[in-house]
A and B are shown apart, each in its own frame.
Chain A
Amino acid sequence: MKSQKSQTYYEILGVSPHASQDDIKKAYDLSKQTFAKDSLATYSLFTDTENQEILSLISKAYQTLFNANLRRDYDSLLARENKNKGAAPKEKEKKIKDGAEKSANSGPSAFAENPKAPQPAAAPFHPESHKSENPNSFSMDEFTQTVTEFSGAAIKKARMMHGISLDDLADQTKIRKTYLSYIENEEFTFLPAFIYVRGFVKLMANALSLPADRVSSDYMARYNKKMSPQDAPPTP
């Protein structure tokens, strides 16, 4: 079946991240019926074992989201993940599991072992994060503190620290590789208009777990300084 592991608890239950408790309860009841033994809608698609695994995942999702405290923890976990796309997936998984197990009593399952990294595609980005307890974002925080101004070179350094190529970053941000390279080398004249460059820089910063606002304001100040004033709109 579709990679259950890469779905958030919200996706597992088929509810929006803003769903009310009532919606979550309803969605849970519906999901339970959908994957119940001999359910008309699923018996021909899933084996009993698969149904069991899905049900156990559904029940974990429900137990986490229906409990206001656990849900808050889970939400902040998701938010952090979305921010540092793919950073330290191991740590995230562990937290989710701990959170769910406080109230969950369901047995282990192949699906539940690995409740989803919301951005699983980005995981290969940080292979080193699997090796140490120290999530990558920690060293990025440290790095950020040592940087006085986010120039193109500083952004490039951050990328090197992540150990990813321009191609990887282009894949991740959907920004053309040539633009990424111009940004790192501060070849401003080859770049599109101010507003695009600022957007690119923010996307790059997010992908590299850097503080996007600070990076973009530093970088765009350098951009403005170098480009003639009549070409560049004032920094808002």
Chain B
Amino acid sequence: MGQIFNGKEIYAIGGGKGGVGKSFISANLGVLLAKNKGRVLLVDADLGGANLHTCLGIPAPAVTLSDFIANPSMQIQDAIVTTPYENLQLLSGGQDVLASANPKYTQKAKILRAIQSIQADYVILDLGAGTNYNTLDFFLIADKGVLVVIPEPTSVENAYRFIKSALYRRLSLLAGDSQTKAVIEKATKNKNDLGIRNPAELVSYVMESSPETGVLLREALNQFRPRIILNQVRSLADIRIGFAMQSACLKYFGIHMDFIGYLEVDDHVWKSIRARQPVVINNGGKSFRGLESISHNLMNDFQMKPE
């Protein structure tokens, strides 16, 4: 605590691919922020496949978002559990029921509203893999959306797919009229008969038929600023992939992406995961320093500088 706080910040940790370290990074950022900055709520937004509790070394919570969805009289506070770490609470996503993995629109809206109303200084949303609308909507309500990427083709591809899906989802939610929505829907397909290959071309296309919506979309494009973290980095060349993706995003999507840090391959990490303890509980070590620098950059809107 002790920090002047002006409002709650919501961070979403996603990335498309499974197994790249989203939950590991969410849990450790949560512990770090709770230790140094204020009240933190970790939300396991991997509905149906929640396991963030394991990263924190606690058993699966008895109450979860599934209960919150199922039970109209339940308050969101009642689904939140404490953790062994001061200032750090957990809202789990539920591991079972198919219904909770695919909430209806109204149920999802209820969750999103509840998350926004929660009393905390920081909310960290640990997203599931994939690019379904639930995941994208969690990503989009966050103040800052972060993608975790590892230096492998599949992960980079999935990250781009995630960025594109999230961006088109945002544009589609913004565009009020069904005509523009239909254009955006078409544009999401790689080979579409409108000849739209990327968001910038989509905006130009909409600008011609409906300038007012076009201006709105262009503004959204300018505001869209995902962050990326490179995980499991082994070399200097791996780190450069972060800058390269930044520059590719600008040229391809026309958006600015902040490369906010990397984590090296580190034996302490797998050991900590097996021990079901966050790696940052021990100060020092390259992963601790990496996570500290990531949280610093994330909070202050900083980014990495190429060496």
A225 within 8 A of B: no
B114 within 8 A of A: no
Evaluate contact between A54 and B156: CB separation under 8 angstroms. no
A-B contact count (CB 8 A): 59
Q: Give which listed residue, B197, B198, B200, B245, contacts A41 with CB less than 8 A.
A: B245
Question: How far, in angstroms, from A2 to B250 measured CA to CA in the complex?
Answer: 8
Evaluate contact between B247 and A1: CB separation under 8 angstroms. no
Measured between beta carbons, the chain B residues less than 8 angstroms from A33 are 240, 244
Evaluate contact between B243 and A1: CB separation under 8 angstroms. no
Binds A, one of B3-11, B97-105, B140-148, B251-259: B251-259
Residue of chain B at shortest CB distance from A14: B247
Per-position 1/0 for B143-176, Cβ under 8 A of A: 0000000011100110010000000000000000
Binds B, one of A42-50, A98-106, A154-162, A190-198: A42-50
Task: Determine how close the nearest CB of chain B comes to the CB of A204; give it in whole angstroms.
Answer: 22
Evaluate contact between A2 and B243: CB separation under 8 angstroms. no
Evaluate contact between A34 and B244: CB separation under 8 angstroms. yes
Q: How many residues of B contact A (CB 8 A)?
A: 22
Chain A 2-43 interface residues, beta-carbon cutoff 8 Å to B: 2-4, 14, 26-27, 30-31, 33-35, 39-43
B72 within 8 A of A: no
Evaluate contact between A41 and B306: CB separation under 8 angstroms. no
Evaluate contact between A2 and B200: CB separation under 8 angstroms. yes
Evaluate contact between B253 and A42: CB separation under 8 angstroms. no
Evaluate contact between B244 and A40: CB separation under 8 angstroms. yes
Measured between beta carbons, the chain B residues less than 8 angstroms from A3 are 200
Given the interface contacts A2-B200, A44-B156, does A30 sit within 8 Å of B251 by beta carbon? no
Task: Determine how close the nearest CB of chain B comes to the CB of A109; give it in whole angstroms.
Answer: 15
Task: Determine how close the nearest CB of chain B comes to the CB of A136; give it in whole angstroms.
Answer: 25
Question: How far, in angstroms, from A3 to B197 measured CA to CA in the complex?
Answer: 12
Given the interface contacts A1-B198, A30-B306, A40-B153, does A45 sit within 8 Å of B247 by beta carbon? no
Task: Determine how close the nearest CB of chain B comes to the CB of A6; give it in whole angstroms.
Answer: 10
Evaluate contact between B153 and A1: CB separation under 8 angstroms. no
Measured between beta carbons, the chain A residues less than 8 angstroms from B197 are 1
Question: How far, in angstroms, from A27 to B241 measured CA to CA in the complex?
Answer: 14
Task: Determine how close the nearest CB of chain B comes to the CB of A121; give it in whole angstroms.
Answer: 11
Task: Determine how close the nearest CB of chain B comes to the CB of A169; give it in whole angstroms.
Answer: 17
Residue of chain A at shortest CB distance from B156: A40
Question: How far, in angstroms, from A38 to B247 measured CA to CA in the complex?
Answer: 16
B120 within 8 A of A: no
Question: How far, in angstroms, from A233 to B44 measured CA to CA in the complex?
Answer: 62
Measured between beta carbons, the chain B residues less than 8 angstroms from A44 are 153, 156-157, 160
Task: Determine how close the nearest CB of chain B comes to the CB of A57; give it in whole angstroms.
Answer: 10
Evaluate contact between B247 and A39: CB separation under 8 angstroms. no
Evaluate contact between A41 and B251: CB separation under 8 angstroms. no
| A interface residue numbers (CB < 8 A to B) | 1-4, 14, 26-27, 30-31, 33-35, 39-46, 54
| B interface residue numbers (CB < 8 A to A) | 151-153, 156-157, 160, 197-198, 200, 240-241, 243-245, 247-248, 250-254, 306
A-B contact pairs, 6 of them (CB 8 A): A1-B200, A4-B251, A30-B240, A34-B247, A41-B241, A41-B245
